[in-house]
């Protein structure tokens, strides 16, 4: 199976992590779960415990709140797939570490570069936080805005993008691989076919 980058987003308790685990089972080779959560209180510690219980026992767990791109560079070649869960907690950890907006965007570029260059497939999970009301404080607005910007960057790198609603995955993007055989001489008939295919692919990704 060729390398893939899959991005899954959606609301809280929408089924993102379970869907990610189901997709991961289709990939061959060793698998790792890169967790960005930190057990800063009892509620989060319990959430982490439940997530660990849902994962297959043969998976390796990598825990890293901030250095996600570095971990991909160090460990990516040792696995067939790494599941990153989740980006919004990574962003939250960055805010607690007093990262500036410039620092966030630099780290997002490093993450995208690491995703492109690592040999293993990647499934990246995040929370959609931009569909509600405007937050009433600057920190929350910064978190919302950074999440949206970083989601766009990751989605651009991804071969497939899914939005989860009530446990149902809605596919927003699927990158189509073109073979050399599909390249035909330019002509009126061929141009019409090409336009038709482009239009069809556009509606699949929107």
- Residue 206, pLDDT > 70, answer no
The predicted structure's pLDDT at residue 205 = 41
Q: What is d(CA 111, CA 71) in angstroms, rounded to the nearest whole number?
A: 10
Strand order in the sheet with 60-63: 60-63, 31-35, 81-85, 121-125, 5-10, 160-165, 168-174
151 an active-site residue? no
User: For the chain, which residues make up each domain, given as ranges?
Assistant: 5-181
Q: How many CB atoms lie within 10 A of CB 95?
A: 14
The predicted structure's pLDDT at residue 176 = 75
Query: Can you give the pTM of this predicted structure?
Result: 0.82
Which class in CATH covers the domain with range 5-181?
alpha beta
The predicted structure's pLDDT at residue 177 = 60
What are the tens digits of pLDDT across the range 6-56? Answer: 999 999 999 999 999 999 999 999 999 999 988 777 887 887 787 777 778
């Amino acid at each position: 199976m060729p390398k893939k980058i899959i991005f899954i987003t959606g609301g809280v308790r929408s089924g993102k992590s379970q869907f990610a685990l189901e997709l991961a089972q289709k990939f061959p080779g060793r698998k790792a779960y890169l967790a960005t959560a930190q057990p800063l209180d009892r509620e989060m510690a319990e959430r982490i415990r439940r997530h660990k219980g849902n994962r297959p026992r043969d998976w390796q767990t990598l825990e890293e709140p901030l250095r996600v791109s570095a971990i991909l560079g160090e460990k990516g070649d040792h696995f067939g797939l790494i599941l990153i869960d989740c980006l919004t907690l990574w962003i939250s950890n960055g805010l607690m570490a007093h990262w500036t907006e410039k620092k966030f965007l630099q780290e997002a570029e490093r993450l995208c570069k690491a995703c492109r260059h690592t040999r293993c497939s990647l499934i990246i999970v995040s929370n959609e936080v931009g569909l509600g009301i405007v937050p009433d404080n600057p920190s929350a607005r910064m978190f919302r805005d950074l999440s949206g910007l970083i989601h766009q960057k990751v989605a651009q790198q991804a071969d497939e993008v899914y939005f989860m609603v009530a446990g149902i995955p809605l596919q927003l993007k699927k990158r189509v691989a073109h073979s050399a055989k599909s390249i035909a001489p330019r002509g009126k008939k061929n141009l019409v076919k090409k336009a038709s295919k482009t239009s069809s692919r556009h509606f699949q990704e929107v």
